[in-house]
């Protein structure tokens, strides 16, 4: 009976299999598998849409493209791995365990960084609309996105340096996948990779909200928002206000999904990310990757039109990339 409970009965140091009710396990596997497939499919639609249609290659959409790539990796790599971890027996080896935590940290860090860039983008568009086209260009946005990925990759290469050098060093038994970091490094990581950026996001969006409300009132009452020396009237475009609202929803949903996990990390006595007690928080964190494209469906007409073109294979027609997506 004892051997039957081991992950690898032929190995004396094998971990024991956790006992899950059959119905519960089946529901969890079905749910996570469905979320994984839906996340991959929806984010792939976003990636193809923004990459293919030239009219959608705006600075803001380039940020959404990078976020979709990160979310796609979550659905393609991280959620399937979470299914294996729920089973309780890690069968992919110590090296894959180390790489799993590395890519998990990378995708989360990139998502946080992109959210900061989205907040900066909306701040400039709403609070300084005169100079938006000169300050926020596609080339600068691409450079910021590349920098975000590079910094995230270097940060987690350093944070997980011991685990990457010696995979499996934190495992207590054969078939486990876990890692640990000391208290100081964990605290610094939380501040630099989450709480610091979240503070920036909240401050910027509070400013955007205040300005957007005042601009909306000005437009409703036909009062000029800003008056230049050449007597031209400058107001924030309705499209920019709508974009700020939509991306505001994305940011709020992001905070609701990410905060439980990071608050748990602060309250936990240790930083063992692989512990079973963090499963629900991790699932909420990954669920955000599936929710983002669903938000686009409800708020972006161009995404609905793009889905129709892709699904009906009209995208294969010549010069389909020149299609007017904003009409």
Rg of the chain over all Cα atoms, to the nearest angstrom: 23
Separation between Cα atoms, residue 294 and residue 206, nearest integer Å: 24
The encoded tokens of residue 9 equal 């009965």
DSSP annotation of 70 reads H
Count Cβ atoms within 10 A of the Cβ of residue 42 and give its class: 0-12 exposed, 13-18 middle, 19 or more buried. buried
Q: According to the model, what pLDDT value does residue 268 have?
A: 55
Q: Which of 292, 323, 289, 322 is nearest to 305 (CA)?
A: 323
From first CA to last CA, the distance across the chain in angstroms is 67
Q: According to the model, what pLDDT value does residue 319 have?
A: 87
Count Cβ atoms within 10 A of the Cβ of residue 101 and give its class: 0-12 exposed, 13-18 middle, 19 or more buried. buried
Q: According to the model, what pLDDT value does residue 36 have?
A: 92
Domain positions in the chain: 23-322
Element (H, E) at 235: none
Structural contact between residues 125 and 136, judged by C-beta atoms closer than 8 angstroms = yes
Separation between Cα atoms, residue 76 and residue 41, nearest integer Å: 10
Stated pTM of the model: 0.85
Q: According to the model, what pLDDT value does residue 117 have?
A: 93
Structural contact between residues 275 and 18, judged by C-beta atoms closer than 8 angstroms = no
Maximum distance among all alpha carbons in the chain?
87
The encoded tokens of residue 99 equal 């790489």
> Which long-range contacts does 218-226 make (Cβ < 8 Å, 24+ apart)?
226/130
Structural contact between residues 249 and 298, judged by C-beta atoms closer than 8 angstroms = no
Q: Does 23-322 carry CATH code 1.20.1070.10?
A: yes
Low-confidence ranges of the chain (pLDDT < 70): 1-4, 215-243, 264-279, 327
What is the per-residue burial (b if ≥16 Cβ within 10 Å, else e) of 43-72? bbbbbbbbbbbeebebbbbbbbbbbbbbbb
Count Cα neighbours of 290 within 13 Å in the Cβ-side half-sphere: 18
Sign of CA dihedral 181, 182, 185, 189: positive
318-to-45, 302, 321, 324 alpha-carbon distances in Å = 19, 20, 8, 14
Q: Which of 26, 30, 112, 118 is nearest to 79 (CA)?
A: 30
Element (H, E) at 233: strand 233-234
Separation between Cα atoms, residue 40 and residue 318, nearest integer Å: 27
Q: According to the model, what pLDDT value does residue 241 have?
A: 65
Count Cβ atoms within 10 A of the Cβ of residue 306 and give its class: 0-12 exposed, 13-18 middle, 19 or more buried. buried
Length of the chain (residues): 327
């Amino acid at each position: 009976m004892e051997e039957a409970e081991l992950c690898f009965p032929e190995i004396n140091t094998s971990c024991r299999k956790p006992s899950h009710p059959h119905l519960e396990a089946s529901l969890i596997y079905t749910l996570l598998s469905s979320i994984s497939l839906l996340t991959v499919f929806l984010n792939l639609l976003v990636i193809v849409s923004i990459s293919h249609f030239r009219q959608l290659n705006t600075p803001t959409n380039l940020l959404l493209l990078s976020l979709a790539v990160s979310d796609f990796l979550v659905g393609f790599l991280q959620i399937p791995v979470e299914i294996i971890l729920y089973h309780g027996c890690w069968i992919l080896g110590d090296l894959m365990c180390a790489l799993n935590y590395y890519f998990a940290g990378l995708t989360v860090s990139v998502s946080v960084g992109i959210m900061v860039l989205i907040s900066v983008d909306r701040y400039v568009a709403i609070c300084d609309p005169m100079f938006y086209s000169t300050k926020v260009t596609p080339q600068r946005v691409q450079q910021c996105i590349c920098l975000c990925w590079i910094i995230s990759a270097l940060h987690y290469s350093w944070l997980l340096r011991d685990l990457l050098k010696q995979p499996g060093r934190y495992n207590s038994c054969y078939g486990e996948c876990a890692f640990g970091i000391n208290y100081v490094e964990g605290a610094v990581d939380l501040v630099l990779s989450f709480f610091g950026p979240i503070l920036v996001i909240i401050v910027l969006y509070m400013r955007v909200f205040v300005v957007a409300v005042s601009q909306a009132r000005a437009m409703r009452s036909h009062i000029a928002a800003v008056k230049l020396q050449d007597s031209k009237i400058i107001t924030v475009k309705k499209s920019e206000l709508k974009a700020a609202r939509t991306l505001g929803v994305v940011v709020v949903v992001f905070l609701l999904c990410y905060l439980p996990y990071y608050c748990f990390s602060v309250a936990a006595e240790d930083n063992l990310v692989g512990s079973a007690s963090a499963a629900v928080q991790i699932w909420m964190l990954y669920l955000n990757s599936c929710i983002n494209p669903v938000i686009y469906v409800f708020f972006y007409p161009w995404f609905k039109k793009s889905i129709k073109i892709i699904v009906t294979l009209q995208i294969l027609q010549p010069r389909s990339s020149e299609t007017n997506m904003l009409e």
